[in-house]
Amino acid sequence: MNLRGAEQYGRDQLTGSESPEIDSQILLCHVLAKSVVYLHTWPERLLDEAQLQQFNALLALRQLGHPVAHLIGQRGFWSLDLEVTKDTLIPRPDTELLVSLALDQMLPTMTVADLGTGSGAVALSLAIEHPHARILATDYSFAALSVAKRNAKKHGLDNVQFYQGSWLMSVAENSLDLVVSNPPYIEQDDPHLSQGDVRFEPLSALVSGQDGLDDIRLIITQAKYCLKPESWLLIEHGYHQAASVQSLFTEAGFSEVSSEQDYGGNDRVTLGKLAV
């Protein structure tokens, strides 16, 4: 089978995918260890038997719903190619808004905490943009932290420190210039948990109580004591949670509270400044 035929074959096999053409290309490129340009440049090149078997195996797993990021072991985010595993949340494009808003508040030598770092997507994106900043990346999952550490090493980022623990429990009072987090925020009975990629992602990185806000409440409470006066807290949340999260910020004593929209026009990140 040549590459043109393999690409079409992959599209035809992925009847359950919302993006069969893209998925087929990515999986085929992974098998070949080549870029999409290679597929278009050499469409008549033939797959050998081992490559065809690997491609078929990946297509079968994708048809069962396994995320492409898990099948190829990586996902692009910001300017980084990141390793991802079943132990981490797959970075989403919408979370780049959190990075962008954090960069708006950052100065070169700040101390910044990224809570629930997972693959390290947010922490490492901030670290690469501000190499002289001190980034603290925390996660309760040892397995997730191991992935984040490998990603930091891969990209040569030595200004990130990793800590295992619950949010800000081990961080000193009045020690942080900025706190960012993409915490779990899905309601425990949300029907979307049985659909799409999230079926294969760790529930601990997705679900947070009956209303999805248990971890956000805890982060806001802890951040109030760990942030320096007039420092900022930024939290990603669900598209329908902005009003509730804003209220939690305000009740905790944060000012200039607002929510910003993601690429799809949904309220996605709420931020506020700790009052003096």
> 98 and 178: one domain?
yes
Q: What is the pLDDT at residue 213?
A: 94
With cut-offs at 50, 70 and 90, classify the pLDDT of residue 214: very high
Q: How far apart are CA 63 and CA 34, in angstroms?
A: 22
What is the domain range of residue 92?
80-274
Per-residue pLDDT at 120 exceeds 80: yes
> 136 and 253: one domain?
yes
> 254 and 227: one domain?
yes
Per-residue pLDDT at 194 exceeds 80: no
Per-residue pLDDT at 251 exceeds 90: yes
Count of domains forming the chain: 2
pTM for the full model?
0.90
> 29 and 166: one domain?
no
Please write the tens of the pLDDT for every residue from 197-210: 788 788 788 887 88
Per-residue pLDDT at 125 exceeds 90: yes
Strand partners of residue 114:
137, 180
What's the gap between Cα 111 and its chain centre?
21
Please write the tens of the pLDDT for every residue from 25-38: 999 999 999 999 99
> 61 and 84: one domain?
no
> 88 and 56: one domain?
no
Q: What is the pLDDT at residue 257?
A: 97
